[in-house]
Amino acid sequence: MTMTTIRGEPFHVQVDGDAGAPALLLSNSLGTNLSMWDPQVAEWTRHFRVVRYDSRGHGRSTAPDTPYSIAMLADDALAILDALGIGKAHWCGLSKGGMVGQWLATHHGGRFDKVVLANTGAYMGPPENWETRLRNVRENGMAVMVQPTLERWFSPAFRERDTATIARVSEMLATTPPLGYANCCAAIRDMDQRGTIQAIRNPVLVIIGKVDPATPPEAGHFIADTVPGAQRVELDAAHLSNLEQPAAFTKAVLDFLKS
């Protein structure tokens, strides 16, 4: 676990794997932190230098109460690569991390090789829904978000079957800085990449949860249909598919990156 100063702000960054291996940068979802990738790291570090970080507003990273944007979150990722001396990397982002990945592939595609966009969308309207959510968090803290979020993120059967994972994710949600969460909600509220992602030229894999109510399958299909040459994989999972179907998710990403 390493705290790194990025453009004058603290970020929690963790690097695993051979320093000489190709880099793979992972970006967490809204309301989680870099530990959401724990089930994947052991396998992926056999092939890649895996870089994880707590996104702005999350975990132990900076969480100022200032306006955020998807472009700002993308700039954070680029600055982390720069700080580590990494010129080019693969990308894997889930939900909010996938939104950041779309921006990066659209505007900074030369910094990345292959791009995985998991359980995500190019537009997450209507804006009023996000405004209601961020106001709720600002007024009442993260406790009000935990149970409804878990119900969106995991299928009922998984919530009953894997209580340990549910407990870990519940803790991540509960300890996310409320102001950081709210400002990330605002960034998602203001995002619309539907008209720009057709410019992406990186190889892209879109991972879709078949029973995902947060970013429904049609959101993933839109991205896969819009990005030229994009591949898609559908998993029997809800929103956090890397946790609900860890083996299938790990293999799908590895097969794509190694192909």
* Euclidean distance between CA atoms 232 and 88, whole angstroms: 23
pLDDT single digits (tens) 9-42: 999 999 999 999 999 999 999 999 999 999 999 9
Q: Report which of 47, 44, 2 is spatially closest to residue 22, judged by C-alpha positions.
A: 47
From first to last of the 259 residues of the chain, give the pLDDT tens digit.
699 999 999 999 999 999 999 999 999 999 999 999 999 999 999 999 999 999 999 999 999 999 999 999 999 999 999 999 999 999 999 999 999 999 999 999 999 999 999 999 999 999 999 999 999 999 999 999 999 999 999 999 999 999 999 999 999 999 999 999 999 999 999 999 999 999 999 999 999 999 999 999 999 999 999 999 999 999 999 999 999 999 999 999 999 999 9
Domain 2-258: give its CATH superfamily. Answer: Alpha/Beta hydrolase fold, catalytic domain (3.40.50.1820)
* pTM as predicted: 0.98
DSSP the chain: -EEEEETTEEEEEEEES-TTSPEEEEEPPTT--GGGGHHHHHHHTTTSEEEEE--TTSTTS---SS---HHHHHHHHHHHHHHTT-S-EEEEEETHHHHHHHHHHHH-GGGEEEEEEES--SB---HHHHHHHHHHHHHH-THHHHHHHHHHHS-HHHHHH-HHHHHHHHHHHHHS-HHHHHHHHHHHHT-B-TTTGGG--S-EEEEEETT-SSS-HHHHHHHHHHSTT-EEEEES-SS-HHHHSHHHHHHHHHHHHH-
* Euclidean distance between CA atoms 170 and 146, whole angstroms: 6
Q: What region, left, alpha or beta, does residue 120 occupy, with left being phi > 0 and alpha being psi -120 to 50 degrees?
A: beta
pLDDT single digits (tens) 147-157: 999 999 999 99
The HSE-up count of residue 26 (CA atoms within 13 Å, CB side) is: 29
Domain range summary for the chain, segments of one domain joined by +: 2-258
What are the tokens at 127?
């804006």
